[in-house]
């Protein structure tokens, strides 16, 4: 089981040249990254194949897509399937990021189908869950997370690995991360839900304004296996410092 994970989510950032510079920077920095930390790079689809080749001899670095379709093939213009991702060496796929839930209207039901499609081809889903500020302020954050986790696990199976990322929507890209206690409370809730479905070895990452200043405190909290990092991962030096933030 992997229990220290730092995943970079580039979102829709970096030209091909910038992607190469970042990836070369990571290879040059691998000696500085603790050997028990799994690094995952979630890049735009257009760069995945090249990145996969670049990190082919680096087992500590895995490549992730940021999204996929819920079918393996067919007449879905513009879409990319889990089996296509597998065929170019991708091991992970972010599913249900809050930006996709809110801007691309992805529902819990669709997300459950995407998880199913990923697992069919052994593409490990990194399923994002998180409440909005309004949901938290109305005390409904426990309910939202319970619904999102329950849906995500509909077609999952403890035999096949899965990663969960708790990303409070109000903390993403805002510079205001959850407090250590808020994050730990929600991770405990998620781990309890996972245990009910017999998922006992599932890493739960924290995401939402995680950076090289707050990662050490967040990662030291019980139930937090690492981070899914957006803004602070765009710079390779700050990303490397985050990988060094486990105690």
Site string for ligand PGA, 186-225 (x = CB under 6 A): ---------------------xxxx---------------
Q: How far is the CB of 169 from ligand PGA (least distance, A)?
A: 9
- Cα(57)–Cα(52) distance, rounded to whole angstroms? 9
- Cα(228)–Cα(67) distance, rounded to whole angstroms? 15
Which one, 172 or 240, has the nearer CB to ligand PGA?
172
Closest CA to 199 of 97, 121, 127, 103: 127
Q: Cβ neighbours of residue 218 under 8 Å, at least 6 residues apart?
A: 177, 180, 183, 206, 210, 224, 227
141 is catalytic: no
Identify the active-site residue in 69, 97, 141, 187: 97
- Cα(82)–Cα(15) distance, rounded to whole angstroms? 24
Q: How far is the CB of 198 from ligand PGA (least distance, A)?
A: 27
Helix axes 180-196, 141-152, angle to 10 degrees: 40
Closest CA to 222 of 210, 204, 236, 235: 204
Q: How far is the CB of 164 from ligand PGA (least distance, A)?
A: 13
Total binding residues toward ligand PGA, as defined by CB under 6 A: 13
Q: How far is the CB of 208 from ligand PGA (least distance, A)?
A: 5
- Region 2-31 residues binding ligand PGA, contact defined as CB under 6 A: 9
* Helices (H) then strands (E): counts for the chain: 10, 8
* Binding range to ligand PGA, per CB under 6 A, among 12-20, 23-31, 165-173, 186-194: 165-173
- For the purposes of burial, counting CB atoms within 10 Å of the CB of 6, is it exposed (0-12), middle (13-18) or buried (19 or more)? buried
Which one, 135 or 167, has the nearer CB to ligand PGA?
167
Q: How far is the CB of 66 from ligand PGA (least distance, A)?
A: 9
The secondary structure element, H or E, covering residue 197 is none
Which one, 173 or 192, has the nearer CB to ligand PGA?
173
Instruction: Please give the DSSP secondary-structure letter assigned to residue 185.
Output: H
When asked if residue 172 is in the footprint of ligand PGA (CB under 6 A), the reply is yes
Instruction: Please give the DSSP secondary-structure letter assigned to residue 30.
Output: G
When asked if residue 43 is in the footprint of ligand PGA (CB under 6 A), the reply is no
Q: How far is the CB of 74 from ligand PGA (least distance, A)?
A: 29
135 is catalytic: no
Residue at token pair 């993403």: 172
When asked if residue 183 is in the footprint of ligand PGA (CB under 6 A), the reply is no
Q: Where are the beta strands (DSSP E) in 54-136?
A: 61-65, 92-95, 124-129
Residue among 231, 235, 238, 244 that touches ligand PGA (CB under 6 A)? 231
* Active centre residues (catalytic): 97, 167
- Interface residues toward ligand PGA, by CB under 6 A: 9, 167, 172-173, 207-210, 228-232
């Amino acid at each position: 089981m992997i229990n220290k994970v730092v995943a970079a989510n580039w979102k829709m950032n970096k030209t091909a040249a910038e992607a190469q510079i970042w990836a070369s920077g990571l290879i040059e920095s691998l000696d500085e990254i603790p050997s028990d930390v799994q690094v995952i790079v979630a890049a735009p689809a257009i760069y995945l194949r090249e990145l996969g080749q670049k990190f082919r001899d680096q087992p500590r670095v895995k490549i992730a897509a940021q999204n996929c379709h819920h079918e393996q093939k067919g007449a879905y213009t513009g879409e990319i399937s889990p089996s296509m991702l597998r065929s170019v060496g991708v091991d992970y796929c972010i599913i249900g990021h809050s930006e996709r839930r809110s801007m691309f209207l992805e529902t819990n039901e669709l997300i459950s189908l995407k998880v199913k499609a990923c697992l069919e081809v052994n593409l490990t889903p990194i399923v994002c869950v998180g409440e909005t500020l309004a949901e938290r302020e109305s005390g409904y954050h426990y309910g939202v997370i319970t619904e999102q986790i329950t849906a995500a696990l509909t077609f999952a199976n403890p035999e096949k690995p899965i990663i969960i990322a708790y990303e409070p929507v109000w903390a993403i890209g805002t510079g205001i991360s959850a407090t250590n206690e808020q994050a730990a409370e929600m991770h405990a809730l998620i781990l309890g839900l996972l245990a009910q479905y017999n998922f006992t070895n599932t890493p739960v990452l924290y995401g939402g304004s995680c950076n090289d200043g707050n990662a050490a405190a967040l990662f030291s909290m019980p139930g937090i296996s690492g981070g899914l990092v957006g803004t602070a991962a765009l710079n390779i030096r700050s990303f490397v410092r985050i990988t060094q933030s486990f105690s």
